[in-house]
Amino acid sequence: MNIILRLCLGLLTVTIVALSAANALAARTIRLGVVTMPGSAQYVCAERFQQLVAERAGDTLEVKLFHSGSLGSETDILQQVQMNAVDMAIITLGPFDTFVPEVKVISFPFLFRDHEQVDQLLDGPLGDEVLTSLERAGFKGLAFSENGFRNLTNNTRPVRTVDDVHGLKIRVMESAMHKELWKTLGANPTPMAWPIYAELQQGTIDGQENPLSVLWVYKLFEVQKYLTLTGHVYSAHIDIASLAWWKTLPQAEQELLTRAMHDAALYQRQWNRQNVAGFLDQLKGAGMQVVSDPDLASFKAQAEGLKNMNLFAEPRTRALLEKFLEATK
């Protein structure tokens, strides 16, 4: 054989061997989306998950994080997960209710007594029932991490009783349940995607409601004067995968990812809870005026009305609400 041809064949063989070795070594990329930025509650969970997957399967799987609105709003991310343009996501529970109505039950106002009760129910059969229900919309539900208990802030007046809410323009998540809740409490709610700093600054809205970590991380204390510790809704995140994508994974990978997300969620909930008191001190230090003991009975009495609204009329939603109300009695 001609020497040149032989050299060429040799080179080709070396290239093919090198390419297939590289292929075997290259980890497959999992695309995971959160709407919020580094340091936020969603991101802390995502980052921990990324770390755990690297430790446990770093030579086969690699998690790439998309954050800070780079994929659009939480509703946009959910749509991308449905279509498997994104593989996984950590999303605040609110926007899920337009995809699967019964998930809103977890956000029912004043449902949970404390974190212990949250963990007991969400990590038990009722939580599993919610995770499974997501499959109807093309999501594989893996675990619950959290935003935390939500509190009201506004620029108009200190809110001490539900009467003080009257007429306030409050931004709510893209969720039917949150909109209805604030209407019932007497506010004028406007659904808007996250983030909302500019709208608060410009005065398009008077207030908003979110857990303390969000007020701190997104510097909302710069554009909001009054904070009331209402704790009106426990705001979970649901940590999901695209069901279509999930079904293509070998069982061992499904198990590894489920465990990693579960561990990340437990870690993140502890992180969130340990930091609540610190965030409150920092918000006070930054000049927010805090009403720490509002008349919650007045809020609860009015929020009760939600139970009998159309929001919960759909049979599966009704049945799940009854179960959660019974379990938290």
Q: Could you please report the per-residue DSSP string of 72-99?
A: -SHHHHHHHHHTTSSSEEEEESGGGGGT
Listed in sequence order, the residues at least 6 apart from 3 whose beta carbon sits closer than 8 Å to its beta carbon are none
**Beta-carbon-side half-sphere exposure of residue 53 (alpha carbons within 13 Å):** 26
Site size with ligand EAX, rule: CB under 6 A = 10
Give the CA radius of gyration of the chain.
23
Compute the least distance from the CB of residue 175 to ligand EAX, in Å: 9
- What tokens appear for 315 in the block? 């049979």
Which residue matches tokens 């979110």?
210
Q: Is 173 a binder of ligand EAX (CB under 6 A)?
A: yes
Compute the least distance from the CB of residue 33 to ligand EAX, in Å: 12
Q: Is 36 a binder of ligand EAX (CB under 6 A)?
A: yes
Residue from 107, 154, 184, 210 in contact with ligand EAX (CB under 6 A): 210
Binding-site string for ligand EAX from residue 182 to residue 201, where x marks contact by CB under 6 A and - marks none: ------------x-------
Listed in sequence order, the residues at least 6 apart from 199 whose beta carbon sits closer than 8 Å to its beta carbon are 171, 192, 205
Contacts (CB under 6 A) with ligand EAX, residues 238-257: none
Which of residues 50 and 210 has its CB atom nearest to ligand EAX in the complex?
210
Q: Is 75 a binder of ligand EAX (CB under 6 A)?
A: no
- What tokens appear for 215 in the block? 């007020």
CA-wise closest residue to 305 among 109, 44, 128: 109
Q: Is 268 a binder of ligand EAX (CB under 6 A)?
A: no
Compute the least distance from the CB of residue 216 to ligand EAX, in Å: 11
Compute the least distance from the CB of residue 35 to ligand EAX, in Å: 6
Residues within the interface to ligand EAX (CB under 6 A): 35-36, 40, 92, 147, 173, 194, 210, 214, 235
